[in-house]
Amino acid sequence: MRKVLATVLALGGCVAPLGSPVPQSASLSATVLTLTLSDGTICRAPWASAPVGRMDRCGPGYGYAVRVIDTPNLLRQFWSDLTTALGAEGLVVPLAEVVITDPAGIDRVFVSPPPSEKE
């Protein structure tokens, strides 16, 4: 019985989890998409100049698509217009949906800015 248990434990130790890191979060600044993977890797792409593209040098490579929500609520529109009028353009991060596609073709959808913890 001990030999069987020892063999099972030894073989179990040889099995390492195989797989690519998984996207954990995606956020936007005025011009840059920042993607954080489960292994701690952080990747960036210039989403404002290319709202759809690939991050080929990010882990195994990920596709991305950013869809900006053009008609956010009135309070957000007012705040964005006010900061722009005061010369602080880009201070308010875009409200958008970010779709990250992994090499297997699985989409993960994030919103930016992410919902607050209190909601």
Digit-by-digit pLDDT tens for the chain (119 residues) are 445 444 434 444 433 345 779 999 999 988 999 999 999 999 999 999 999 999 999 989 999 999 988 766 676 666 666 666 777 655 557 788 999 999 999 999 999 876 654 44
Whether residue 83 lies inside any domain: the answer is: yes
Q: Is the dihedral of CA 113, 34, 58, 17 positive or negative?
A: negative
Q: Is residue 81 part of a domain?
A: yes
DSSP H/E element including 99: strand 96-101
Name the domain count of the chain: 1
Domain limits for position 44: 21-112
Q: Is residue 118 part of a domain?
A: no
Question: What are the tokens at 33?
Answer: 């998409």
**Amino acid of residue 78:** F
Which sign, positive or negative, has the C-alpha torsion 67, 73, 74, 75? negative
Model pTM score? 0.67
Do the domain assignments include residue 5?
A: no
Q: With respect to residue 106, please indicate whether it lies within any of the assigned structural domains.
A: yes
